[in-house]
Structure 1
Amino acid sequence: MKEAKTPDNQSRLLKVGLIGTVIAALCCFTPVLVILFGAVGLSAMLGWLDYVLLPALAVFIGITVYALWKSRNSETPS
């Protein structure tokens, strides 16, 4: 059985997309993780950050765009 998309599910998807985008952007464009890992003593693990954070940012932006697109399509009468 197919689950109907309710406005609650769409708003939750939008919230997840926005929160993920903000967190990934903060970690990509500011040295938040570099400072945190350096303070904890895990600075050797910083080499993989670009391989993880940039695709994560792209995925969360995609989720946000999809949620906005779905909410606009559900608002327009067919």
Structure 2
Amino acid sequence: MKRNKTFITGVVGIIIALICCTTPVLVILLGTVGLGALTGYLDYVLIPALVLFILITVFSYRKRTKASNEKENCCL
């Protein structure tokens, strides 16, 4: 159970870091390149990307957990 809490804490940390840190970096980079008008559309890209990465993380965690359970059950 402790492993699950650690994984959830890591995922929440990744989400917070993505929302807080990536958006200002993208705004600064787009502004310096001259594409500052695109900053209004960042949410349309970042939120689906965030959801996609969360789904990938969940599926990989389930697959890893399922594989470890099958290893334990095969030796019984």
Shared fold, TM over 0.5: yes
Which TM class, normalised by the smaller chain length? 0.5 to 0.7
Provide Cα deviations, 1:8-64, integer angstroms capped at 9, x if missing partner.
Answer: xxxxxxxxxx8xx67x81xx3220100100111110111110011011101101101
Query: TM-score, normalized by length of structure 2?
Result: 0.63
Name segments (4+ residues, structure 1) moved above 4 Å.
Answer: none
Whole-angstrom distance in 2 between the partners of 1:76 and 1:52: 36
Whole-angstrom distance in 2 between the partners of 1:56 and 1:29: 15
* Structure with more of its chain in helix, by fraction: 2
CA RMSD of aligned residues (A): 2.2
Q: 5+ unaligned residues in a row in structure 1: which ranges?
A: 1-17
Whole-angstrom distance in 2 between the partners of 1:53 and 1:40: 19
- Where relative contact order (Cα < 8 A, 6+ residues apart) is larger, the structure is 1
Q: 5+ unaligned residues in a row in structure 2: which ranges?
A: 1-10
In the alignment, what sits opposite 2:29?
Answer: 36
How many aligned positions are there? 56
In the alignment, what sits opposite 2:67?
Answer: 74
Whole-angstrom distance in 2 between the partners of 1:29 and 1:70: 29
The structure with more radius of gyration: 2
Query: TM-score, normalized by length of structure 1?
Result: 0.62
Correspondences of 1:1-78 after superposition (within 5 Å): 25=18, 28-30=19-21, 31-77=24-70, 78=73
| Percentage identity across paired residues of the two chains | 48
Whole-angstrom distance in 2 between the partners of 1:65 and 1:36: 31
